[in-house]
Amino acid sequence: MKRTKIKAALAATGPMDEIVIKGWVRTKRDSKGFSFLELNDGSGLLNIQAVVDHTPEIEAALARIGTGASVCVTGALVESPGKGQKWEIRGRGLEVLGEADQETFPLQKKRHSDEFLRTIAHLRPRTNKYGAMFRIRSELAQAIHKFFADKGFFYIHTPIITGSDCEGAGEMFRVTSLEPGSTESADKDFFGKPAQLTVSGQLSAEMFALSLGDVYTFGPTFRAENSNTPRHVAEFWMIEPEMAFADLADNMDLGEEMIKYLVTHILDNCPDDVDLFAKWVDKDLMPTLENILKEPFKRLPYTEAIDILKNAKKEFEYPVEWGMDLQTEHERFLCEEQFKKPVYVHDYPKVIKPFYMRLNDDGRTVAAMDCLVPRIGELIGGSQREERLDMLLARMQEMRLHEEDYWWYLDSRRFGTAPHAGFGMGFERMLMLVTGVANIRDVMPFPRTPNSLEF
Amino acid sequence: MKRTKIKAALAATGPMDEIVIKGWVRTKRDSKGFSFLELNDGSGLLNIQAVVDHTPEIEAALARIGTGASVCVTGALVESPGKGQKWEIRGRGLEVLGEADQETFPLQKKRHSDEFLRTIAHLRPRTNKYGAMFRIRSELAQAIHKFFADKGFFYIHTPIITGSDCEGAGEMFRVTSLEPGSTESADKDFFGKPAQLTVSGQLSAEMFALSLGDVYTFGPTFRAENSNTPRHVAEFWMIEPEMAFADLADNMDLGEEMIKYLVTHILDNCPDDVDLFAKWVDKDLMPTLENILKEPFKRLPYTEAIDILKNAKKEFEYPVEWGMDLQTEHERFLCEEQFKKPVYVHDYPKVIKPFYMRLNDDGRTVAAMDCLVPRIGELIGGSQREERLDMLLARMQEMRLHEEDYWWYLDSRRFGTAPHAGFGMGFERMLMLVTGVANIRDVMPFPRTPNSLEF
């Protein structure tokens, strides 16, 4: 007989004479003549309770069972007399699938620190918190695909291994098939030239936007930055939509619609799992998320943002002046204190932005935008792209980029160029937003950071 | 006014007084007093025709327009008197967004070879064939997520950069942040030890199956194999489901259901684009796909497969004997000539399979399965995993693997182990199957192969 997932059993509309449940034992309580098992199979946050009588076979099985063991219970699904649960299993058969030695099993029933759980990242999804995290992570990824598919965006897999450094967005990892310490030159390497791990799929995605219209990427990106902070990892997933025939306002519209859609989707589809985070991780989680949904995001030109920051009755660590890049303290002040909601800052000075952003008519700002959200800071960064060949070439020259390295990118401006815009959103940042988890290491299956490559 | 995508315009249920179409000119034909423009914006295969009268403004615009230019046409959507199209645009305004120099634009209207189009991979999605390809690719990816989400599988992002070589599944790329030629040892490198690009997410996914039940990965994987064939690339995407409480039969059931679901989904959702491939690329495409849907897949024990091959009236390049791995010629014979449908070969000799596959009671075969399909050969490879700690350790010893490298993997067998099974499917192979395209380079945006890292 096929197993029934616990989530489905708990949602049953009536009792069932025959049911097979397989899962891991969270607790075992023995009583006179029978025992209670709390079982979880990962399908949802809530356990199902199984009550088994002490027949000789079942007693033999129970003797081998402790927290963490995997079992198969056969029996009936019946109404539970206990409170807080509608259904329980009246067990007739109990089979031990895998024992868990109680002396060495590291996940005994008690609260463990996040730091400790990182050292057993292969087991932490068996805890309530990390089970919930990875179910939400999965649902968030599904929601992203659904959002874009419903809007007619095409999903593009841009290359992971790249020969172009995109935008100088950060330090890159090298990829090689040469032996360590080899003094062979790059033309003897696998690709016949230096190869890196991508920091962004944008330039490739632009080629597809200028062919298929609306596209997006959703894939891993990499930074070889030696920073050990709660916000940085070497490998993370990024979503990068790119729209043809779109400008900066369209871009901000899309980002706002997407963020609101994702928050709504998670609240609607993961209520139990989100509750856990609202209860145990971030007491402000629900108000934070409701605030995001409530009103239109603020749209604030960079130049006005600088004025606000200059006039703020607040000491900033980094002094405020036009032309500087906003620091996290500035970003958080704007969205958490000044406007108390998500803020798009747009039209940044060109000198602090990459070459591909579209020059505004003032000649000193570009059509860039960052979306700042409470607690996270920058969640989205994007721009209208420079579609005018002569302007793009001039910017590349100013920034000392070599035309020949970008021949294909420039081709898109030579042949049927069109206004287009797009942005990038760090998937893990969005996940931190919807769960209230403060350390990026705790929203990924197996995080990669300096000196940490376990699992 | 917002643009209407051409796909939506062509599907209109009635005429529209005002419409804005933006797209690229496929052809321009001038007549006396007016011109015809065939426009495509990538939203679908079919162009829309715009008819514009020769006002002075429009004539000025037309003079700048050739194949490949991007334009904005405003006007009305009216019934088309022409055959083969229900609607056309009666254009009142014509704006040139981006010209395309007719001397240098490489995509003039004629049939181009796939080889030539690979050299302009950044422009090829503007052709009918590659536009269709990348729309199907997107739809296939969406269908994969939908299939697993609907069945309650959780999507897991397993790491791309890894310190474990998984299964010795092939040559691996090294990842480093040291300078080329550096003689520093690996403990001075970013991760403090040697790092590679993953060849499979399976071992990580198993950890999540043994926590959340049913999971899958869908991400890039890498092989540093120096082979220049129509079937090999250095970077490709793979789908790897993994199910707790499942055996080899469940695994084959899942694979068959998935393949049939994906084929059906593409036939139902991409009829125009699939038609193009059936007409121009592979005349046998439709019969091939219908054949896959028609009947249950054949399930054939390896030992019987060997008997069939030995008795076949056919000269094979590689002689057939029990214990050998099947070659492509054998695989294709079984599914194309012997059974004329997809074939699961299962229960392979343990000596040709990795350590993690479950040993059968005969002691000489493992619970492995490959799904062979016409034209492609192996589309899916998977197994029930060895969940018994003692058997797994014995296999690792036989294969001289170091226990300490796999401590976390072994933990999953120490604590609440459970039967589980999974498989891997190359995304691009599935795409080759549903389009009939024979070269893997032509189903990817920017393929990575030896000495080829352009774009």
pLDDT of residue A108: 82
List CB contacts (< 8 A) between B24 and chain A: 416
Asked if A451 and B224 come within 8 Å (Cβ–Cβ), the reply is no
Asked if B159 and A105 come within 8 Å (Cβ–Cβ), the reply is no
- Does residue A249 surpass a pLDDT of 60? yes
Q: To which residue do tokens 């968030």 refer?
A: A140
Among chain A residues, the shortest Cα distance to B65 is held by A416
Residue B3 at interface with chain A, using a CB cutoff of 8 Å: yes
pLDDT of residue B168: 58
Q: Which of B101, B134, B175 sits opposite A154 (nearest CB)?
A: B134
Q: Where does the pLDDT of residue B165 fall: very low under 50, low under 70, confident under 90, or very high at 90 and above?
A: low
Distance from CA of B405 to the nearest CA of A (A): 9
Q: Identify whether the C-beta of residue B222 lies closer than 8 Å to the C-beta of residue B197.
A: yes
Residue B287 at interface with chain A, using a CB cutoff of 8 Å: no
Q: Identify whether the C-beta of residue A7 lies closer than 8 Å to the C-beta of residue A43.
A: yes
Q: Identify whether the C-beta of residue B157 lies closer than 8 Å to the C-beta of residue A447.
A: no
Q: Where does the pLDDT of residue A127 fall: very low under 50, low under 70, confident under 90, or very high at 90 and above?
A: very high
Asked if B445 and A176 come within 8 Å (Cβ–Cβ), the reply is no
> Who's near A347: CB < 8 A, 6+ residues apart?
A248, A301, A302, A303, A360, A365, A366, A367, A368, A369
pLDDT of residue A165: 60
pLDDT of residue A166: 54
pLDDT digits (tens, 9 = 90+) for A46-74: 999 999 999 999 999 999 999 999 999 99
pLDDT of residue B119: 97
What does the pLDDT average to over A222-232? Answer: 93
Report the candidate in B293, B308, B297 with the shortest Cα–Cα distance to residue B344. Answer: B297
Q: Identify whether the C-beta of residue A19 lies closer than 8 Å to the C-beta of residue A75.
A: yes
Radius of gyration of chain B (CA): 27
Distance from CA of A158 to the nearest CA of B (A): 7
pLDDT of residue A380: 97
Among chain B residues, the shortest Cα distance to A4 is held by B245
Distance from CA of A332 to the nearest CA of B (A): 30
Give the range among A65-74, A153-162, B223-232 with minimum mean pLDDT: B223-232
- Does residue B204 surpass a pLDDT of 80? yes
Helix/strand/coil for A423: strand
Half-sphere exposure of A203 (CA within 13 A, CB side): 26
CB within 8 Å of chain B, chain A residues 380-399: 387
List CB contacts (< 8 A) between A138 and chain B: 154-156
Q: Which domains does chain B have, with CATH numbers?
A: 6-98 (2.40.50.140), 124-443 (3.30.930.10)
Distance CA B38, CA B71 (A): 11
Q: Is B56 exposed, middle or buried (0-12, 13-18, 19+ CB in 10 A)?
A: exposed
pLDDT digits (tens, 9 = 90+) for B115-157: 999 999 999 999 999 999 999 999 999 999 999 999 999 999 9
Distance CA B123, CA B119 (A): 9
pLDDT of residue A59: 96
Distance CA A83, CA A86 (A): 8
pLDDT digits (tens, 9 = 90+) for A369-380: 999 999 899 999
- Does residue B407 surpass a pLDDT of 70? yes
Distance from CA of B335 to the nearest CA of A (A): 30
CB contact burial A352-386 (16+ within 10 A = b; e otherwise): ebbbbbbbbeeeebbbbbbbbbbbbbbbbbbbbbb
Q: Where does the pLDDT of residue B448 fall: very low under 50, low under 70, confident under 90, or very high at 90 and above?
A: very high
- When scoring A45, A245, A388 by the number of chain B Cβ atoms within 10 A, the one with the most, hence best to mutate, is A245
pLDDT above 90 as % of chain A = 94
Distance CA A47, CA A67 (A): 13
Report the candidate in B168, B251, B166, B249 with the shortest Cα–Cα distance to residue B205. Answer: B166
Helix locations, A346-426, DSSP H? 389-398, 407-414
Fill in the DSSP letter of residue B123: T
pLDDT digits (tens, 9 = 90+) for B322-331: 999 999 999 9
List CB contacts (< 8 A) between A193 and chain B: 453
Enter the pTM of the model. 0.97
Distance CA B382, CA B385 (A): 9
pLDDT of residue A83: 83
Q: Which of A134, A212, A417 sits opposite B208 (nearest CB)?
A: A134
Instruction: Please state, rounded to an integer, the average pLDDT across all residues of chain A.
Output: 96
List CB contacts (< 8 A) between A42 and chain B: 154, 211-213, 244
Q: Max alpha carbon distance in chain A (Å)?
A: 85
Q: Identify whether the C-beta of residue B453 lies closer than 8 Å to the C-beta of residue A192.
A: yes
Among chain B residues, the shortest Cα distance to A72 is held by B245
Return the C-alpha torsion angle B322, B323, B327, B333, nearest 10: 20
What does the pLDDT average to over B172-191? Answer: 93
Q: Where does the pLDDT of residue A168 fall: very low under 50, low under 70, confident under 90, or very high at 90 and above?
A: low
Q: Helix, strand, coil shares of chain A as percentages rounded to 5?
A: 35, 25, 40
Distance from CA of B2 to the nearest CA of A (A): 10
pLDDT digits (tens, 9 = 90+) for B353-362: 999 999 999 9
Q: Helix, strand, coil shares of chain B as percentages rounded to 5?
A: 35, 25, 40
Residue B66 at interface with chain A, using a CB cutoff of 8 Å: no
Q: Where does the pLDDT of residue B316 fall: very low under 50, low under 70, confident under 90, or very high at 90 and above?
A: very high
List CB contacts (< 8 A) between A190 and chain B: 173, 224, 226, 234, 450-451
pLDDT of residue A167: 52
Among chain B residues, the shortest Cα distance to A42 is held by B212
Q: Which of B42, B160, B204 sits opposite A220 (nearest CB)?
A: B160
- Does residue B320 surpass a pLDDT of 90? yes
Residue A135 at interface with chain B, using a CB cutoff of 8 Å: yes
Residue A201 at interface with chain B, using a CB cutoff of 8 Å: no
Distance CA B432, CA A101 (A): 48
List CB contacts (< 8 A) between B20 and chain A: none
> Who's near A205: CB < 8 A, 6+ residues apart?
A156, A158, A215, A216, A217, A240, A242, A422
What residues does A175 pair with on adjacent strands? A195, B175
List CB contacts (< 8 A) between A226 and chain B: 190
pLDDT of residue B125: 98
Distance CA A46, CA A363 (A): 58
